[in-house]
Amino acid sequence: MRPSTEPQPRTSGVALPPDPIIRFENVSKNWGTNHVLKSLNFDVAPGEKVSIIGPSGSGKTTILRILMTLETPSEGKVTVDGDTLWDVSLGQKVRETRQLRETRKKIGMVFQQFNLFPHMTAMENIIEAPIHVLGMNKAEARERAAELLNLVGLGKHMNHTPPQMSGGQQQRVAIARALAMRPKVLLFDEPTSALDPELIGEVLNVIRNLAHTTDMTMLMVTHEMRFAEEISDRVVMFDNGAAVESGPPAQIFKDPQQERTRSFLRAVLQH
Amino acid sequence: MNAVIEYAPLLWQGLLTTLTVTVLGGALCLVVAFAAGLARLSRHRILRWPAGVFIEVFRGTSLLVQMFWLFFALPFFGIQLHPLTAAVLALGLNEGAYAAEVVRGAIASRAKGQTEACIALGMEPALRLRRIIIPQSIPAMLPPFGNVMVDLLKNTSLVSLVTVADLTFSAQMIRSTTGQTTAIFTTILVMYFVLSYLLTLLTAWLEKRFALDRKALTLQRKENILMKVGAA
Amino acid sequence: MIWDNAFAISILPILLQGLWTTVHITVVGTLLAAGLGLVFAVLRRLAIPVLSKVIAFLVVFVRGTPLLVQAYVAFFVLPSYGISFDALTTGIVVIGVNYSAYMAEVYRSGIQGVSKGQWEAATALSLPGTRTWGRIVLPQAIRTVVPMLGNYLIQMFKDSAVLSAITVVELMATAQAIGSSNFRYLEPLTLAALLFLAVSYPASRLVNRLERRYAPQH
């Protein structure tokens, strides 16, 4: 395990804290009268691995979906790597802007339901966006895709289509597909929730590897508490549209400060 | 049966015309279907609205009225169409309006996750449609497209009413000269039936060819159900 | 001025009369199609040796051939075998039989949709066949069929224009007759189109709403 606690300011010549790669400022999201996020303030440092835990409907997934521009915040400002992704006060429309598209390329996402393209093979799934979005040439894209498939342990499955693969294999291809875009930030939306129990391990192994070997920023919504404890630099407990508690895994899991965190962990760790 | 044999060349000519009208009408129908169907899904009102009006008008009135209008009423605006042109235009636009709804429905019912995956990969709307959403929607479009094409084939018989010498027109001519009504009409009924049947076989073959494979479709359905549960 | 307004207004009453005949054909034709379709569907399901096969083929055959040619057969061929009615009756029967082939398919899928458990429960209660069909199966099957019936009604309303070819004086034939006797086709044909639209568009909106309301809950 990596010796990491609270993300420390990197001690360089100048004693400035690193600029956060992700910053939520007073972000709210309302569905009618339902407040999914309540004026959230939330920073993630470059390279940080953050797990978000909490009961269903607490707004965890909404954070990822706003970052991936799949949903629009109702209020507030979101910046990614110094670029403004959303700024509701500026009257930014739901409409796509050029800047939003450019910023979005720095972010990748792994979905609960994999969302592989069912009419394409594993290889085609992975090279699709590098070729047509980044303009990479085909040979280069294929070479890189083959490396990535090896990385997730599916080198022999490049010509299989999603229906021919197990859920665990599909999710590993989905991870390779996201990595092919070389994102600075990778989002995981409950990546193992749709899997049969015996397939969860293979997917967690791939994510664990990534967490330990890359300096990509990772933000993960998960129900796998042991896993979150093992790979995260920081764990954030969410409830009712707000961050209840945030801290290093040792603190959250061994010595939670908030009663809500304690009761949640009691409930999920009981079995 | 004598009349049928004696007039076989005329029937053959009629059959060729029927096939020509079907192929030309079918091609126009496909173009119209995708143009109007996609316009109907557009974010821009300026595309969505005219497409909606077109679809409702052509689905809301009779094909025969449309064909007659193009042939008999358009000359009052100084436009005299060749009967074959008017016939193909009416068939293509009318069946195209029905097929446009097929395109719209098939694309609109695509699992939301596919669009989200495209967005997460930075794919822009046009690319999403062309590479991911339309190819995936083809299997769902094929069976209803097959029905539209069979309808189009049968409706080509109406072109005989604007003096295009198709199979039905030839049969009417042979009937009025020979009076062998039963033999002639039985013959062309069988010919139409065989053509429809061949179209059905073609559709079935295409369906098999383009199937995403049954398991993939089950997955999609499961995903749709999950999305519904999630949204509730 | 291309459009002659006075002329258009003068022909409107006759066109409305034609529209009335079109509606008449549609209503009677739909009732006929709904009844015949049900009979065909049940007969097919009963698997009576030759009859069910013959009906299955007839349904496919009628669906695979043009309505216009079917109308010609009824109008020109049947009289030579001593079967003849006036044009209107012939027209209604032809379109009714044509649509019954489509309705039969709708009923068939409705009947198939009734779960096996319903049949088994009826058997377990020793219900006689007529009772099983009449009180258990058909009421459940027809529920799912009703919205489709509405769609076919609207479709038949528009298709009935084809019957003008066998001298049935409905809306389309009226418009044509006005056109050829006045050498002005623009007004009668445009008005005919508008009248078709004025009835079928609101009707299809209504059917859509009913469909959504009575959609089976999954």
> What are A246's strand-pairing partners?
A236
CA distance B98 to chain A (A): 26
Q: Which two tokens stand for residue A214?
A: 């890359």
pLDDT digits (tens, 9 = 90+) for B42-93: 888 999 999 999 999 999 999 999 999 999 999 888 889 999 999 999 999 9
CA distance C64 to chain B (A): 5
pLDDT at C1: 58
Contact A109 B212 (CB under 8 A): no
A256-265 mean pLDDT:
91
Architecture category of domain B2-231 in CATH: Orthogonal Bundle (1.10)
Ranges A1-10, A169-178, C37-46: which has the least confidence: A1-10
pLDDT digits (tens, 9 = 90+) for C163-176: 999 999 999 999 99
Residue C155 CA to its chain's centroid (Å): 7
Share of chain B above pLDDT 70, in %: 91
pLDDT at A271: 57
Q: Which CATH number fits domain C5-214: 3.40.1380.20, 1.20.1250.20, 3.10.20.340, 1.10.3720.10?
A: 1.10.3720.10
Q: How confident is the model at residue B221 (pLDDT cuts 50, 70, 90)?
A: low
| CA–CA dist A83, A185 (Å, integer) | 13
Residue B227 pLDDT exceeds 70: no
Contact C161 B64 (CB under 8 A): yes
Helices C87-113 & C138-159 angle (0-180, nearest 10): 140
Q: Given CB atoms, is B150 within the 8 Å cutoff of chain C? A: yes
Residue B196 pLDDT exceeds 90: yes
Can chain C be said to touch chain B, i.e. do they have 3 or more Cβ pairs within 8 angstroms? yes
pLDDT digits (tens, 9 = 90+) for A17-56: 678 999 999 999 988 888 889 999 999 999 999 999 999 8
Contact C68 B160 (CB under 8 A): yes
CA atoms in the 13 A half-sphere facing the CB of A232:
29
Tell me which chain A residues have a C-beta less than 8 angstroms from the C-beta of B213.
161, 163
pLDDT at C143: 76
Q: Where are the domains of chain B?
A: 2-231
Nearest to C168 by CA among C111, C86, C105, C106: C86
Residue A9 pLDDT exceeds 60: no
Total CB pairs under 8 A between chain A and B: 76
Contact B62 C189 (CB under 8 A): no
What DSSP line would sit under C46-68, residue for residue? TT-HHHHHHHHHHHHHHHTS-HH
Nearest to A257 by CA among A268, A246, A270, A241: A246
Q: Where are the domains of chain A?
A: 115-182
φ/ψ of residue A5, rounded to 5: -120, -135
Residue type, B193: F
Tell me which chain B residues have a C-beta less than 8 angstroms from the C-beta of A184.
none
Q: Is the dihedral of CA B105, B107, B108, B109 positive or negative?
A: positive
Contact C201 B189 (CB under 8 A): no
Contact A101 B124 (CB under 8 A): yes
Ranges A259-268, B174-183, B208-217, C1-10: which has the least confidence: B208-217
> What are A239's strand-pairing partners?
A242
pLDDT at B156: 97
pLDDT at A269: 81
Tell me which chain A residues have a C-beta less than 8 angstroms from the C-beta of B113.
111, 113, 115
Find the DSSP H helices in chain A. Answer: 60-67, 98-104, 122-132, 138-151, 167-179, 197-213, 225-231, 249-254, 259-269
pLDDT at B185: 93
Beta-carbon neighbour count of residue C1 at 10 Å?
4
pLDDT digits (tens, 9 = 90+) for A64-120: 999 988 888 999 989 998 888 888 877 655 455 677 788 888 999 999 999 988 888
Tell me which chain C residues have a C-beta less than 8 angstroms from the C-beta of B160.
68
Residue type, C193: A
Pairing mode of beta strands A22-31, A83-87: unpaired
List the single residue in B with minimal CA-CA distance to A103: B122
pLDDT digits (tens, 9 = 90+) for A200-252: 999 999 999 999 999 999 999 999 999 999 999 999 999 988 899 999 999 99
B224-229 mean pLDDT:
55
| CA–CA dist B124, A106 (Å, integer) | 15
* Minimal Cβ distance to B113: which of A115, A161, A163: A115
List the single residue in B with minimal CA-CA distance to A180: B121
Residues of chain C with pLDDT under 70: 1, 214-218
Contact A132 B131 (CB under 8 A): yes
